[in-house]
A = this chain, B = another copy of it.
Amino acid sequence: MTTLLPNAVNPPRRILMGPGPSDVHPRVWAALAAPTVGHLDPYFLQIMNETQAMLRQVFRTTNELTLAVSGTGSAGMETCVVNLIEPGDKMVVCVNGVFGGRMADVAARCGAQVTIMERPFGEIFSTAEIADVVQKVQPKVVGIVNAETSTGAWQPLEEIAKVVHDAGALLLVDCVTSLGGVPLEVDAWGLDAVYSGTQKCLSCPPGLAPVTFSPRAVAAVEARKTKVASWYLDLTMVRNYWGQSRAYHHTAPINMNYGLHEALRLVLEEGLEARHARHLKNHKALKAGLAAIGIKYAVAEGQQLPMLNAVLIPEGIDDVAVRGQLLNEFGIEIGGGLGPMKGKTWRIGLMGEASSPRNVLLFLAALERCLSDRGYKLSPGASIAAANAFYAKT
């Protein structure tokens, strides 16, 4: 064969305001490029310990079983489900978006008897309806999404955890998009199995999935009668590598773990409360700006995620063309709608590093241009004026 040699990697410089990955701090890129050491090198074991300690702080937990799974967020989902579910176990999955649907699919593949609770995309579940179903079904596990990346809906968890525990079940939660962006209290709320991703509000490139298991969830894993269906994601082995025995399981992604380590340091340097406040402030500024040019949110007031702003595409405006112009003319990535929201919503991420006044103002200015180019009626500069007015008073 003739050798075909492409050019070296030389990516365009994007501003990542989609549903993730989000903008990455240069310190994280630098950490990714630090010298590789072996997966059993004492130095790497120290990095693992420190990463676990930082993850516990970010998850707000003392759970011993807290680690970074060697895959992206969906591998985190599969890790939680596959370790808790044995064939025939009952699981209730709350589906109000793509990721709830994915969880139901994962659970069925593990052999769970899945009961799906459904809500239209963009809505959230009430504690009462979950209590009702959980009492009837008596499942082993209830799965729910805290921050539906596909819809922008923010699902409260604290009361739901209580009714799930009252029924003797475990609560499994998707926090891929919420971790590091909004308050999340794994211990105080009693969440049992929680997974996240690195590429949302932690602002690390994708590649790892932080997970944490409560003592109750660990007991369920230890009480299994069958082997975990996935060897790669089997926490009964993975935890020995991350734990005292350091038994070799698989070769961890060394440099990705360096990156996560630095990303977590950035989160803790800022402080969780300050970080959550920043996400909220920039969300409100964006929202004020969008309102001033007539752009409406797809999710009801009070249920909108600050880091994932799903808005309705105005009538007659070409979804793909606007996103193409944002990307090609301004280097700004936003997301389109997923599933039934395709062509109906834009998903504007303000996650981690990307949640900044700079990005809010630039995005609004660029969006005004894209909309005006297509004959959309707006008062030029109105979104900027509104966002700046909001910032001025905070």
On A, residues with C-beta under 8 Å from B are: 1, 3-6, 8-14, 16, 18, 20-21, 23-24, 27, 29-39, 41-44, 47, 50, 53-54, 57, 60, 70-75, 77-78, 102, 105-106, 108-110, 197, 199, 205-207, 227-233, 248-256, 258-259, 261-262, 265, 268-269, 271, 327, 333, 338
A109: chain B residues within 8 A (beta carbon): 227-231
Which of B1, B34, B206 touches A9 (beta carbons < 8 Å)? B34
CA of A249 to CA of B102 in the docked complex: distance in angstroms? 10
A31: chain B residues within 8 A (beta carbon): 8-9
Using A37-B333, A43-B11 as known contacts, say yes or no to A57 and B232 having CB atoms under 8 A apart.
no
B232 touches A78 (CB 8 A): yes
Which of B230, B251, B338 touches A72 (beta carbons < 8 Å)? B251
B36 touches A16 (CB 8 A): yes
A105: chain B residues within 8 A (beta carbon): 231
B206 touches A39 (CB 8 A): yes
B36 touches A33 (CB 8 A): no
CA of A197 to CA of B250 in the docked complex: distance in angstroms? 11
Residue in A24, A30, A43, A206 whose Cβ sees the most chain B Cβ within 10 Å: A206
Which of B6, B21, B106, B251 touches A199 (beta carbons < 8 Å)? B251
Which of B3, B36, B251, B253 touches A256 (beta carbons < 8 Å)? B253
Q: Which residue of B lies closest to A79 (CB)?
A: B232
Instruction: Name 28 interchain pairs, CB-CB below 8 A, sorted by A.
Output: A3-B268, A3-B271, A4-B54, A5-B265, A6-B53, A6-B261, A8-B31, A9-B34, A9-B47, A11-B36, A11-B43, A11-B258, A14-B38, A21-B38, A23-B36, A24-B35, A24-B36, A32-B255, A36-B205, A70-B72, A71-B75, A73-B251, A74-B250, A205-B256, A207-B256, A229-B229, A229-B230, A255-B259
**Whole-angstrom distance between the Cβ of A33 and the nearest chain B Cβ:** 4
A12: chain B residues within 8 A (beta carbon): 35, 37, 41, 43
B268 touches A72 (CB 8 A): no
A72 touches B252 (CB 8 A): yes
A39 touches B14 (CB 8 A): no
A42: chain B residues within 8 A (beta carbon): 327
B43 touches A75 (CB 8 A): no
Q: Which residue of B lies closest to A38 (CB)?
A: B333
Which of B20, B249, B254 touches A21 (beta carbons < 8 Å)? B254
A327: chain B residues within 8 A (beta carbon): 41-42
A-B pairs, 8 with minimum CB distance: A207-B253, A33-B33, A6-B50, A29-B33, A74-B250, A205-B255, A206-B251, A32-B32
CA of A9 to CA of B255 in the docked complex: distance in angstroms? 10
A251: chain B residues within 8 A (beta carbon): 20-21, 72-74, 197, 199, 206
CA of A306 to CA of B57 in the docked complex: distance in angstroms? 46
B36 touches A254 (CB 8 A): no
**Whole-angstrom distance between the Cβ of A3 and the nearest chain B Cβ:** 5
